[in-house]
Structure 1
C-alpha cells in the first residue's frame, strides 16, 4: 500500500467595503485548487498556506461570509498580508 499525498485544497476569500465579513469566492480540490492558487499569484494576491484554516473554510458554501468565530484569525491574516505588501512596495 502506498501513501499518496493529500489532495491540495484552496479557498479564496474576498472582502469589499459593502461586506460585513469576507466571503468565500472560490474553493476546490486538486487541479481546481492549483488553478485558484495560480490565478491568485498571477493577480498578485498573497497565498497563505495553513491547512487547518483551509479545512475550516472548505466547510463553507460559495458566497457565504466567514463565521464570526474566524473573524480574528482572518483579520490577523489581512493585517499580515497588508504588511507584506507594504514592505514589497517600500
Structure 2
C-alpha cells in the first residue's frame, strides 16, 4: 500500500486501484498463473516474501487483500447504498472458512 501513497492519490482512488490490481492478480492465480516461474526457482524470493500491495500472492492472500480493500472503500463511501454494495463485494471475496 505504501507504494501507491507516493503517487498522490486520494484514499478512494488508491483503494479503487488496489482492488483493480488485486482482482487481476487473483484472476491470474486462479487461471493457473501462466508465465509464473516454477516453485522454488523464482528470483522474487521465498514464497513468504512475495506480496502484492500487502497481500500474499496466492488465492487466499489476494482474497483477504480484496476483502480488506473493499471494506476500506465502504468506510469511505458517501452514500448508504454504495456502502452496502461494497460490503457485499467484500463478503464475496472473503476466503471460505470452515468451522
What TM-score do the two structures reach when normalised by structure 2? 0.27
Question: Larger C-alpha radius of gyration, 1 or 2?
Answer: 2
Higher strand proportion: 1
More helix per residue: 1 or 2?
2
